């Protein structure tokens, strides 16, 4: 019923910081996270199951349970969520602000939403509204269109697959407080012929190029997918309001930085601009600035 697998992440690995990020992050709706473990239901080849990751001496212990339990799939998911195999950033020469952040968060990897459809839906929901409210939207969407999985007396939610949303109408989503235009964006995404999984194999700029063809997906959303969906270590959603704020503050501008200013400043972080963006989001989220 339960199978387990130990994994030693490439060191250093700060699972505590990762779990702190996930526990605080509004995008963490389908997951169950506490100070030393992570759980989430997945749709496996052989059926639904729950994957669990918890702290072990030299990294992580991964286990799966449920009718469709598949350790390989569960392990693959965990590896992606926690970017276990990712290289860690080098502090940029000539940017003491970012160098200090990288030292402070040493071992924190980019936390990802491995399902690109879910990551994009989350990004669309989050466009131009406060993220606490966006989290509520994600929750009601899951509860209306996803599937519950009951296991050991607990209910886990499976995120709705694209097929479930191809015929959704703005009128249906409006009572869920999802705006008319976002409903249309989500439906267009669900209907799109674009092979989201295949985007993983393309370089950053080509992923953006293809995604912005879709209505409702602009540069920010595409870059968000690169960073939070694929864990790309050099992708930066420079237009992000939160980033513009904290960059303005940390770099002494006394106002929000413009998107162009963020992009220009972040050139010094290359090829680790993804880490730069993620670490600044982490700082914002933890009020650590």
Partner DNA sequence: ATCCAGGCTCCTG
Partner DNA sequence: CAGGAGCATGGA
**Which residues form the catalytic set?**
240
How far apart (Å, rounded) are the C-alpha atoms in residues 274 and 178? 29
- Judged by CB under 7 A, the chain residues 118 through 137 that form the site for DNA are 126-133
Report d(CA 18, CA 108) in Å as an integer: 6
Among residues 146 and 216, whose Cβ is nearest to DNA?
216
- Count of Cβ atoms closer than 10 Å to residue 22 Cβ: 17
Q: Rule CB under 7 A: is residue 229 a binding residue for DNA?
A: no
Strand 37-44 with 32-33, pairing: antiparallel
* Contacting residue, 27, 83, 192, 233, with DNA by CB under 7 A: 27
Considering the complex, state which of residue 103 and residue 132 has its C-beta at the smaller distance from DNA. Answer: 132
Three-state DSSP at 5 gives strand
Candidates 212, 215, 156; CA nearest to 182 is 215
Q: Which of 3, 4, 37, 285 binds DNA (CB under 7 A)?
A: 285
- Of positions 197, 198, 260, 270, contacts DNA by CB under 7 A: 260
Which is nearer to DNA, 15 or 246 (by Cβ)?
Answer: 246
CB of 78 to DNA, least distance (A): 20
CB of 13 or CB of 220, closer to DNA: 220
CA–CA distance, 143 with 89 (Å, rounded to integer): 38
Instruction: Give me the torsion for CA of 101, 103, 105, 111, rounded to 10°.
Output: 80
Q: Which of 239, 262, 269, 283 binds DNA (CB under 7 A)?
A: 239
Q: How far is the CB of 222 from DNA (least distance, A)?
A: 7
* Element containing residue 55 per DSSP (H, E): strand 47-56
- Decide: is 192 part of the binding site for DNA (CB under 7 A): no
CA distances from 245 to 220, 251, 258 (A): 15, 10, 9
Give the C-alpha separation, 61 to 59, whole Å: 7
Output 69 or 207, the one with its CB closest to DNA: 207
112 binds DNA (CB under 7 A): no
Applying CB under 7 A, the residues found at the interface with DNA are 25-27, 126-133, 174, 177, 179-181, 212, 214-222, 224, 227-228, 237, 239-242, 245, 258, 260, 281, 285
């Amino acid at each position: 019923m339960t199978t387990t697998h130990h994994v030693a992440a490439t060191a250093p690995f700060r699972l505590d910081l990762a779990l702190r990020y996930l526990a605080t992050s509004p995008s963490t709706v389908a997951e169950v996270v506490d100070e030393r473990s992570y759980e989430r239901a997945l749709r496996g080849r052989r059926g639904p199951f729950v994957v669990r990751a918890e702290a072990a001496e030299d990294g992580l212990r991964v286990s799966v349970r449920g009718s469709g339990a598949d350790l390989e799939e569960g392990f693959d998911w965990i590896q992606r969520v926690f970017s276990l195999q990712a290289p860690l950033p080098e502090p940029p020469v000539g940017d003491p602000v970012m160098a200090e952040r990288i030292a402070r968060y040493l071992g924190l990897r980019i936390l990802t939403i491995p399902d690109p459809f879910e990551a994009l839906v989350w990004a669309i929901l989050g466009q131009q509204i406060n993220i606490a409210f966006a989290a509520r939207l994600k929750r009601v969407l899951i509860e209306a269109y996803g599937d519950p999985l009951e296991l050991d007396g607990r209910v886990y939610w499976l995120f709705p697959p694209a097929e479930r949303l191809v015929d959704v109408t703005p009128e249906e989503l409006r009572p869920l407080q999802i705006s008319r235009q976002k409903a249309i964006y989500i439906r267009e995404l669900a209907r799109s012929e674009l092979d989201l999984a295949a985007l993983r194999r393309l370089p950053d700029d080509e992923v953006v190029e293809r995604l912005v063809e879709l209505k409702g997906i602009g540069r920010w959303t595409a870059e968000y997918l690169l960073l939070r969906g694929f864990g790309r270590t050099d992708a930066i959603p420079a237009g992000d309001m939160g980033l513009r704020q904290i960059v303005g503050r940390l770099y002494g501008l006394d106002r929000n930085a413009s998107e162009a200013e963020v992009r220009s400043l972040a050139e010094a972080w290359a090829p680790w601009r993804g880490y730069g963006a993620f670490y600044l989001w982490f700082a914002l989220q933890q009020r650590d600035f």
